[in-house]
Structure 1
């Protein structure tokens, strides 16, 4: 953490006429933490801490944030799993005896869909190096579309597995290779999420709004896919707005996304590999996320209970899994720890390779067990499964 960050907090506090103790109380933080932040003694500060300070000081989070980011990078086991994929992305000598065809590459790409949808990362990571080499060997012009989709898929997976720099490279190439904006924007969505997952709020908002403006559809003529791609970008803007203590931006972005979803009228898949949906359910799930962040857990739980099971396109779609974590967080905020653990147990059963990649899951479980003298069997199992530090 830089001294500049601490000086920003101190300056805003003084302009509001608050003491350090006043700020700590208003933000729900300890006085010692506020002192360390202002004195530049903290190397890292979590995004939720920044937001709490921003809310108390009535400024945007980005006003305090400066260049500070909030990324949790992959652990050693995850890095090792994806090393062959990173090497394949870097390229190498073309020693293929049989030249791949576009149809053959597309068939392998489509064949990965079940494993992608189920978040079976070990299986997918083993198949990707050969697929990337074959995609690179395709004709430069004719292979652009399928190569862009493969690179976008790989970039999304690397973001999911917390390897942000390599993800950036893959997604940048995916956007560059795309033969049209409709193909590129799926990778753009993943790149926005990449920024957001690292706490790079300003970059995420800028990229999402730029592309939302560029591809804004005419509602009377737009296809469901066009509306979904545009609406998903506005949901990311809402994600940024709620973290940046900008309720106006959040509400406006949600309204635009909701308009697109209502026009579609159902959940549609804007990218099948991996399965990424958009529609009224996805918008409701992001509204629930916003409710949790702003301290309205009852609203988040009510949203979750209002979504009929038949409206969910896939039980393992990443937005749905993330929504279930938001529900667990809401239960935790209400001290309904048994309900929170039940949701976490459900997620461990549904997506066992997805859950360990979620720092959010570790935050929730850590909050539950910190004040407990003994742990239940479920808590111990979950702590091991999500790699919660001792």
Structure 2
């Protein structure tokens, strides 16, 4: 990827009649960094850096990333070991003893729904311990209902794998869930996990292609659509908006947000489109993503104004979208150099969902900015940096 990035960056810069120094001035990067990138002397270019260059060059971010993902961050050895039994259960389900009772649809579905309390609390260790046996039981289910239960379980498993940065096996699990699902309304839940995985890895083209394809495929008729149908469709457009702001295509972002906002207005409230408590959609969710887009486009005051106007009692404090929104608030404070406020938000998130925060590269990025910009660090800042494993 790095070689092609260097070639593309140099080509676009020359097409824009810019010197390396002029591009450095426009993008806010150093001229030595521009030189390194063009000469392919730098590994691991982040999506945020490519976006700075794309804005300066008046092109799409994805134009500078021909081979897709640029932000893939692999899990720690400890996290990978935690999820290895789940990986094995997905790849080669264990054979059941002949004298074992055959699992019923009702029993597997009840066990799946019982997991939601652990999911809501982000208790990944407990979830990883339960999933292998449950996945093995689900393998035996048949018929429309059995396939639906298995697809939902695979959907949840894929979501958990993405959350814990197990991207390769998550992609396989998404494909399995889509293949098993007896209807599109169930399959699209797994699609959401797939789009989110691409976004977490910075693969903008893949994320947009998957989201738009399925949004077009399941487009509801507003006059007769159920809240769940509208929510599934609207959530996909929120992903498209997320891609657009990262890809330096503000028009696409605005259009996608408008479509999602229309679906949310039609529903009129927050709804869960999946048993997973981290899958809400409605006016509050749309506003949160609008704030996220504002932060990414470096409009922190706008993001904070949106956050200030949101009701706090609609989404549970442990809901992943609300936690993610809290990180956006912390990021906005950091952009405004309100470092104490940013750290206060991160500290609150840690107290609510420590296992969730530990898996967030976003939190490391925010703290990295604070560590770089501050002359001295407080005890809270040092402790949080250690907790999220911020590299030196």
Q: TM-score range by the shorter chain?
A: over 0.9
Counterpart of 1:318?
A: 320
How high is the TM-score relative to the length of structure 2? Answer: 0.97
Alpha-carbon distance in 2 for matches of 1:38, 1:87:
42
Counterpart of 1:18?
A: 18
Report the CA distance between 1:142 and its aligned residue.
4.6
Report the CA distance between 1:98 and its aligned residue.
1.6
Report the CA distance between 1:373 and its aligned residue.
4.5
- What are the ranges of 5 or more consecutive residues in structure 1 without an aligned counterpart? none
Counterpart of 1:247?
A: 250
Counterpart of 1:303?
A: 306
Q: CA-to-partner distance for each residue in 1:338-380, whole Å, 9 max, x for gaps?
A: 0000000010011100001111100101111124444222112
Alpha-carbon distance in 1 for matches of 2:147, 2:200:
28
Alpha-carbon distance in 1 for matches of 2:169, 2:277:
18
Equivalent residues in 2 for 1:1-390 (5 A)?
1-69=1-69, 70-96=71-97, 97-139=100-142, 142-310=145-313, 312-390=314-392
SS in 1 for 2:354: coil
Q: CA-to-partner distance for each residue in 1:291-310, whole Å, 9 max, x for gaps?
A: 01111000011111110112
More moved, 369-378 vs 141-150 = 369-378
More moved, 366-375 vs 59-68 = 366-375
Alpha-carbon distance in 1 for matches of 2:306, 2:204:
25
Alpha-carbon distance in 2 for matches of 1:198, 1:123:
26
Q: CA-to-partner distance for each residue in 1:2-45, whole Å, 9 max, x for gaps?
A: 32211111111111111111111111111111101111112220
Alpha-carbon distance in 1 for matches of 2:165, 2:195:
14
More moved, 250-259 vs 137-146 = 137-146
How high is the TM-score relative to the length of structure 1? Answer: 0.97
Q: How many residues of Structure 1 are paired with residues of Structure 2 in the alignment?
A: 389
Report the CA distance between 1:200 and its aligned residue.
1.0
Report the CA distance between 1:141 and its aligned residue.
5.3
Alpha-carbon distance in 2 for matches of 1:381, 1:89:
37
| Contact 2:103–2:137 (8 Å) recurs in 1 | yes
Alpha-carbon distance in 2 for matches of 1:140, 1:179:
9
Alpha-carbon distance in 2 for matches of 1:88, 1:252:
41
* Moved beyond 4 Å, runs of 4+: none
Report the CA distance between 1:336 and its aligned residue.
0.1
Alpha-carbon distance in 1 for matches of 2:219, 2:67:
30
Q: CA-to-partner distance for each residue in 1:159-183, whole Å, 9 max, x for gaps?
A: 0110100000111100111000011
- What are the ranges of 5 or more consecutive residues in structure 2 without an aligned counterpart? none
Alpha-carbon distance in 1 for matches of 2:376, 2:38:
36
Alpha-carbon distance in 2 for matches of 1:59, 1:293:
17
